[in-house]
Amino acid sequence: MGFLAPLFLFGLGGIAVPVVIHMIQRERKEILEFPSLMFMRKISFHSFRRQRIRHWVLLLLRCAALLLLIIAFAKPFFRSSILATGFNGAREVIVLLDRSYSMGYNNRWDIAKDAATGVLNDLAAEDRATVILFDNEAESGLRSITNRASLTSLVAEAELSDAGTRYGPALKLVEGIFEESDLPRLETVLISDFQRVGVDSTSEVNFPEGTILTPIAVGSSDAEMSNVSVAGVLFDRKYFSGRERIQVSARLTNRGMASVIDLGVTLEMDGRSIETLTIDLLPNGSTTVDFSSVTLGDVPMNGVVRIESDALPTDDVFYFVVSPGQIVTVLVVGSSRESDNSNLFLTRALGIGSEPVFDIRTITVDDFSASDLDGRQVVVLNDTRSPSGQAGRSLAEFVETGGGLLVVTGERSVWPADSPDLLPGQFGTPINRLSRGGSLGFVDYSHPVFELFSAPRSGDVTTTRFFRYRPVTPVPSATVLARFDDGSAALTERRIGNGIVLLWASTVDSFWNDLAKKPVYLPFVHKLVEYLADYTPPSPWFSVGQVINLSSQEIRLSARGGSAAEYVVVSPSGTRISVDIGENTEFIDLKEQGFYEIHNANAVDDQPLMVAVNVDFAESDLTMVDPEELASMITGRVGGERTVNTDSTRFVSAEDLENRQSIWWYFLIGALLLFIAETVVSNRLSRTVMSTD
C-alpha cells in the first residue's frame, strides 16, 4: 500500500487531540465552592494530576474517524500484483499531431484530431502515452502518462498554428522520450499531411531498435481543389507633385490541381478596401496583380492583400506595412575648380535609387559654411582640402553629433595640421602603380559596407584596378575595412562621438582607378553613404517563426522610445506581452499571422509601431511524400541500446493507480459514518450525565 500524498500522514498527530480532550474534559470549567481546602492541600499534588480516560468507546470512535479522514486525504492505493498482471506487453505510445497551418486545408485538422483521439482510445490500460503537437517546433504536454482523459483533452483543445511543417524537432523529441522509456514496446503514430517541405529536417533522428512508426496521412484522398496563395507583394514608389505614391503588386500562385476563374483579389490599406481585381489562374500557375497607386502619408500604413477564401484559408491573406520612402541628405563638397568632373560619377550614382532616395547638394569647399550642414546626414569631402576656420569646427561638431563624413583623397587633397582632427589616418603623397595597377587585397566582408558583396556572384570589388592612391597611416582608434594588395589601408573607419568618418585612399571617379566603371561602383557608394547615414531599410513584413529585436535601433526610432523603454506588444490574437528593456536586448518571437502592435509605454502620443507577420509561403505547397517511405526512412536508422524494465508494476504510475482505485472515497465515507456514530454516542452520554446530575 502506498500513499499519493504521504505528507498528510503528519496529520496523524491530530489523533492526540481527542485523547487530550478526553483527559481534559473531566476538569470542567465550573467551580465548586468548598468550606476549606485545608485537607486537600495536605494531599500530595501528583495524586490528583494523574488522569484517567473515561468513555473509551467515544475516544476510539473519534480517533478512528480522524485516522480514516487523514488516510483518505493521503490518497492511498495498493500496489498489488493482481493489478499488474498481464502488463508484459505495455507500450510507450507517442502520438505526433501535425498542427502546421497546411493542416487547415479543407477538413484535415478535424480528421487528424479524430485520428489522434482514436489512437488514444485504443490504448490498453497499462500503456503510457504522450501527445506531441508540432509545426516547425515540437511541444509535448504531459509525458508518458496513462491518464487518457488528460491526453484526449489535450488533443481536443489543440489549435492550428500559423507555422510551417518540420518533422525533425518532433521526431527528435520522440527519440528522447523513447530513450528514457523502460517499457518493452515503443510505438509512435505520426498524424500529418506529410508535406515534402518538412522532410529534409529528419536526417538527425535515430529511433531505438524495434520502434514502430505508424503514419496516418490525412488529406491523401482529398479531391482536386485549387489552392491559391498570396506569395508576396512588391512596392513601386514614385514621387508625384511632391507626394510619394506607391503601387502595390501582389504575386499569386495556385498550388492546387484545379484552375481558378474570376478570383477576387482585394487590396486594403489601413483597414479600408482600396481596390478589388479579378484574375484567372491555371493549376500550378502564378500571376502578378498590379493595383492602382496609393498616395502615402507621413506615417506608415498597414496593408493587406486578400483573396477569396479557398480550401487553405491561412495563406489567402498577406500583411505588410508601407513606410514613407526615406530620404538620405548628402552634401558633396568638391574642389574649387569649375571645370572639374570629379563629382560626376558620385552624384550620378547617388542620383539613382528609390530606397532610400539620396538628396544631393554639391558645393565647393570655398563656399562651404556652417549653414550648409543644416539638415544633412552625410558630407562627402571629394578630393579637396579640409575646411578651415569656422567651417572646419562646424564640420567637427557635425560629426560629433552623429553626422557621417566621407573623405575621398585625390590629387588636391590637403589636410593641414591646424585642421580639425577628424581623419582615421594621415595620408601621404600618392603612390603610383601605373604598370599593372594595384587591387584590393583585403576586404572586411562582415562590415555593412561590403556585406552585400560577401555572397558568391554578388559583385567583386577586388577586380578594381588602382593606379594611384595615397598611403594612409591609421590612427590607433581607427579600423581598416579594406587594404590594397601592398598592405596600405584603402578604406579606414573612425568613430568620433556619435558620428563616423570614412577615409577612402583613392578617388571615386575614373581618374586614379577604374572603380567607377565597375558594376560594384553603384552599390558600393550607396552602401558607403547608407552606412554613414545610419540607414536601415524598414521591413514591410516578417515571417512566422522570425524574432524581432525590440531594442534594435529601428524599433527604438519608430516607437519613439528612449534608450531604455518599456514596450507592450499586442499580438494579432490580442495577447498582451509586456517587455521591459533595460540594458539587455529583448526579442519577440513572432508566432501568429497578422499585425503585431508595439506600444511604447513611456511615449506620450501612443502611436504603435505595426509589424506585419505572414505565414511561411513554402507551407502552401501541399506536395506529399509517401508516408510509408518516410516511416521506413526514419525507423531504418537504428539508435543506441536502452534498458527495458521487467518490473511490471512500475508500468503504472502511482497517480494512475490511485486514480483508478480511488480508495480514498471509502475512507472518507468510513470517517463520515464514524463521526455520525460519535455524535450519537456522545449525545447519549451527555444525556446520561445530565440525568445523573
* Region of 27-35, 86-94, 155-163, 402-410 interacting with other proteins (CB under 8 A): 27-35
CA distance 270 to 197: 34
Q: Report whether 407 contacts 387 (CB < 8 A).
A: no
* Region of 34-42, 298-306, 353-361, 676-684 interacting with other proteins (CB under 8 A): 34-42
Q: Determine the 3-state secondary structure of 104 from DSSP.
A: helix
Type of residue at 277:
L
Position among 38, 417, 434, 604 found at the interface with other proteins (CB under 8 A): 38
Q: Report whether 119 contacts 95 (CB < 8 A).
A: yes
39 near other proteins (CB under 8 A): yes
Give the helix ranges, DSSP H, for 477-612: 521-532, 553-558
CA distance 649 to 596: 51
Q: Determine the 3-state secondary structure of 70 from DSSP.
A: helix
Closest CB to other proteins among 81 and 692?
A: 692
What length is written for the chain?
Answer: 693
At closest approach, how far in Å is the CB of 87 from other proteins? 60
691 near other proteins (CB under 8 A): no
CA distance 378 to 425: 19
53 near other proteins (CB under 8 A): no
CA distance 591 to 614: 9
Interaction with other proteins in 648-687: which residues (CB under 8 A)?
A: none
Closest CB to other proteins among 36 and 339?
A: 36
Q: Report whether 404 contacts 448 (CB < 8 A).
A: no
CA distance 312 to 377: 48
Strands 327-334 and 301-307: unpaired
Grid cell locating 399? 560629426
26 near other proteins (CB under 8 A): yes
CA distance 247 to 294: 6
Closest CB to other proteins among 47 and 446?
A: 47
* Region of 41-49, 146-154, 308-316, 617-625 interacting with other proteins (CB under 8 A): 41-49
Strands 185-192 and 212-217: parallel
At closest approach, how far in Å is the CB of 682 from other proteins? 16
157 near other proteins (CB under 8 A): no
Position among 1, 7, 35, 224 found at the interface with other proteins (CB under 8 A): 35
436 near other proteins (CB under 8 A): no
Position among 1, 7, 13, 27 found at the interface with other proteins (CB under 8 A): 27
Closest CB to other proteins among 25 and 571?
A: 25
Position among 34, 56, 641, 643 found at the interface with other proteins (CB under 8 A): 34
457 near other proteins (CB under 8 A): no
Q: What angle do CA 149, 150, 155 make, to 5 degrees?
A: 100
Position among 31, 82, 223, 690 found at the interface with other proteins (CB under 8 A): 31
Q: What are phi and psi of 461, to 5 degrees?
A: -80, -15
Position among 1, 7, 33, 584 found at the interface with other proteins (CB under 8 A): 33
240 near other proteins (CB under 8 A): no
Q: What mask of x and - would describe binding to other proteins in positions 86 to 105, judged by CB under 8 A?
A: --------------------
CA distance 200 to 198: 6
Closest CB to other proteins among 36 and 584?
A: 36
Residues 6+ apart with CB under 8 A from 323: 300, 538, 540
Closest CB to other proteins among 26 and 495?
A: 26
Closest CB to other proteins among 646 and 692?
A: 692
Closest CB to other proteins among 49 and 457?
A: 49
Closest CB to other proteins among 25 and 536?
A: 25
Closest CB to other proteins among 24 and 299?
A: 24
* Region of 43-51, 222-230, 279-287, 463-471 interacting with other proteins (CB under 8 A): 43-51
CA distance 588 to 565: 15
Angle between helices 56-73 and 16-24 (to 10 degrees): 160
* Region of 42-50, 133-141, 233-241, 562-570 interacting with other proteins (CB under 8 A): 42-50
Give the helix ranges, DSSP H, for 414-462: 448-451
* Region of 32-40, 123-131, 142-150, 334-342 interacting with other proteins (CB under 8 A): 32-40
Q: How many residues bind other proteins (CB under 8 A)?
A: 22
Give the helix ranges, DSSP H, for 366-497: 389-400, 448-451
Closest CB to other proteins among 49 and 272?
A: 49
Position among 1, 7, 13, 30 found at the interface with other proteins (CB under 8 A): 30
Position among 1, 13, 42, 157 found at the interface with other proteins (CB under 8 A): 42
From the list 692, 594, 645, 652, the residue with the least C-alpha distance to 129 is: 652
Closest CB to other proteins among 28 and 272?
A: 28
Closest CB to other proteins among 51 and 632?
A: 51
The residue with cell 505572414 is: 614
CA distance 108 to 218: 6
Give the helix ranges, DSSP H, for 444-579: 448-451, 521-532, 553-558
Closest CB to other proteins among 53 and 676?
A: 53
Q: Which helix (H) or strand (E) holds 494?
A: strand 489-496
* Region of 31-39, 64-72, 99-107, 303-311 interacting with other proteins (CB under 8 A): 31-39
| Termini Cα distance of the chain | 49
At closest approach, how far in Å is the CB of 11 from other proteins? 29
32 near other proteins (CB under 8 A): yes
Contacts of the segment 306-309: beta carbons below 8 A, 24+ positions apart? 306/230, 306/265, 306/266, 306/268, 307/228, 307/230, 307/252, 307/263, 307/264, 307/265, 307/266, 308/263, 308/264
At closest approach, how far in Å is the CB of 53 from other proteins? 12
50 near other proteins (CB under 8 A): yes
From the list 324, 129, 166, 355, the residue with the least C-alpha distance to 246 is: 324
CA distance 316 to 299: 26
At closest approach, how far in Å is the CB of 61 from other proteins? 22
Closest CB to other proteins among 37 and 82?
A: 37
* Region of 26-34, 248-256, 361-369, 584-592 interacting with other proteins (CB under 8 A): 26-34
40 near other proteins (CB under 8 A): yes
Q: How many CB atoms neighbour CB 96 within 10 A?
A: 25
Closest CB to other proteins among 50 and 457?
A: 50
At closest approach, how far in Å is the CB of 54 from other proteins? 10
47 near other proteins (CB under 8 A): yes
CA distance 532 to 664: 75
Give the helix ranges, DSSP H, for 331-483: 344-351, 389-400, 448-451
41 near other proteins (CB under 8 A): yes
Grid cell locating 503? 577615409
At closest approach, how far in Å is the CB of 63 from other proteins? 21
Give the helix ranges, DSSP H, for 98-211: 108-121, 148-157, 167-180
Please give the residue ranges that form the binding site for other proteins (CB under 8 A): 26-43, 47-48, 50-51
